[in-house]
A and B are shown apart, each in its own frame.
Chain A
Amino acid sequence: GENVEQHPSTLSVQEGDSAVIKCTYSDSASNYFPWYKQELGKGPQLIIDIRSNVGEKKDQRIAVTLNKTAKHFSLHITETQPEDSAVYFCAASSNTDKLIFGTGTRLQVFP
């Protein structure tokens, strides 16, 4: 089955700096890669996703890149703000299988 690894587990950045979170997956059949943001005591919220027919997707300060050959995908947050502080999860799924989540990255943005 699919296995998703996520790094780093914690990340601290200064406000205005960029943050990058990386994930690798094992199943070459995986073709859908969402990223979720979870604030304390709340359910995860989808922030961006990408499918395997695209190499990069951007939405304002957030971007995701996908390297199918290497089986890894990354989340990039530019111009970070304190409200970006949360736990971020990557995930992967295929046409026939459920979402598999990474272990999460706790991002802290210091003012």
Chain B
Amino acid sequence: GAVVSQHPSRVICKSGTSVKIECRSLDFQATTMFWYRQFPKQSLMLMATSNEGSKATYEQGVEKDKFLINHASLTLSTLTVTSAHPEDSSFYICSAQRVMNTEAFFGQGTRLTVV
């Protein structure tokens, strides 16, 4: 299967700072990437859909100015958590698809802890 690399796997940051998480499709070009947030023992909550070269589409209730998404190329999407607060602490996961309605390949996830 295809490989999606997410970096970093763990990050601890201070309240008020910003954190950037990278998601790369290593061996295929992804027209669409997705960002999810997962709370302990819960399902994946879709935050936004990222399309290369265009603005991300955010799900209802997700703050666009807080969770900045950039999909600058067909192999890279980034999620920046701005002015992080302890309540932003969570497991963030990205996925990538070659085209819609096909296999989604997930990154390893990023455990963010805001102190």
Tell me the A residues contacting B by CB distance below 8 Å.
Answer: 31-32, 34, 36, 41-46, 49, 89, 91, 93-99, 101-104, 106
Contact = CB atoms under 8 A, between A and B. Distances in A.
Interface of B: 1, 4, 6, 34, 41-44, 46, 49, 91, 93, 95, 100-109, 111
B61 to A, nearest CB: 15
Contacts, number: 54
A34 B49 CA distance: 19
A45 B106 contact: yes
A44 B42 contact: no
Contacts of B41: 106
Contacts of B104: 34, 46, 91, 99
A23 to B, nearest CB: 12
8 contacts: A41-B91, A43-B4, A43-B107, A45-B106, A98-B46, A98-B100, A101-B43, A104-B42
